[in-house]
Structure 1
């Protein structure tokens, strides 16, 4: 994890919806940081700076530096509330990270070799069921993304969670709950019209 993301925040004392509206009118974003042995702390961050940071895909799967009143806390992004119609962040939640305990984070999936895969060369169409996956690992082992190699995927084949190649020390909590939780990730379906022609032949 070469990237280091630092969020500069200030503490805030006023709470409630009216106080949050005042913060937003000032071009800032209300936030909270919680978890660990310390009590939750209410924060405010600069909206424009926050948007710049959130433009990086890697920020969602990294341990972040939250600089508050001169001291730095380690945390991960836990929830972002966005405006339904505007490019505006309404609220953001950070969860403190303990370097000695595992964290659960949603990590993006990067699909490679789709255009040159066996199935696509035969005319098949790629269909993604997931864009990211929740992983559990120590903070130091947190991957920026999980790569899904499509090169050898044929027509009619579906890759599931159990097919993902994970870095050392990384696991998928969903798979610990049984085979019924081995959800599909991506598949290559038959070329359009092929199913209809097969039925006609039958």
Structure 2
């Protein structure tokens, strides 16, 4: 489970491109905190700290206590922008979260026991359909990842969300279908052999006519 991290910030008196450029010149990343029925709040956070947090992984599933002006904003990142050339953070959006609130979060999927998977041992390939799954989760108990054991999957098998054991209080945001997360694909050599056999059978059928 992701732990809540503390983030120091300063208030921004002005918004707009000019104010954002000024914040960046001062070594900060402009940001905004919004939601929970309150007005948006323009802030700026330390550039080096934000860069480290984003590239450390798990940024979008981490709750933050943002300390600004003697107050604390409990929020989770909802979006961030990187410079298209330098890949450095240039803006961050934070969403306020109240105690006991449930929020939708994209949680990474990790596949464990790949080396033991029946289908992979037989030459199959793990085909990942979803690297993340959007889940409704308690704001104070966001899972770092969903770990799925695929050791029993054979060639041609599909792993659906219904087969995944989710943490207590966690549910998929998609409820109208049992969506696929991964499959064990047929080996290329076997697929080509089956295609060749099908083609020969079709040709044979044509000669009979």
Alpha-carbon contact 1:76-1:96 (below 8 Å) kept: yes
Which residue number corresponds to residue 74 of structure 2? 74
Q: CA deviation at 1:88?
A: 0.6
Any gaps of 5 or more consecutive residues in structure 2?
199-209
Alpha-carbon contact 1:9-1:68 (below 8 Å) kept: yes
SS at match of 2:193: helix
Any gaps of 5 or more consecutive residues in structure 1?
none
SS at match of 2:13: coil
Aligned residue runs from structure 1 range 49-88, under 5 A:
49-88=49-88
Aligned residue runs from structure 1 range 36-185, under 5 A:
36-175=36-175, 178-179=176-177, 182-185=178-181
Aligned residue runs from structure 1 range 6-21, under 5 A:
6-21=6-21
Which residue number corresponds to residue 196 of structure 1? 192
**How many residues are treated as equivalent by the alignment?**
198
Q: Deviations over 1:104-130 (max 9, x none)?
A: 111111111112211110001111121
Distance 1:2 1:170, change over 3 A: closer
Q: Deviations over 1:139-180 (max 9, x none)?
A: 2232121111111111111212333220011001112xx12x
Superposed CA RMSD in Å reads 1.6
Alpha-carbon contact 2:109-2:133 (below 8 Å) kept: yes
What is the alpha-carbon distance in structure 2 between the residues aligned to residue 76 and residue 93 of structure 1? 9
Which residue number corresponds to residue 25 of structure 1? 25
Which residue number corresponds to residue 206 of structure 2? none
Q: CA deviation at 1:2?
A: 6.1
More moved, 107-116 vs 118-127 = 107-116
Q: TM-score when scaled to structure 1?
A: 0.91
Higher Rg of the two aligned structures: 2
What is the alpha-carbon distance in structure 1 between the residues aligned to residue 47 and residue 137 of structure 2? 30
SS at match of 1:92: strand
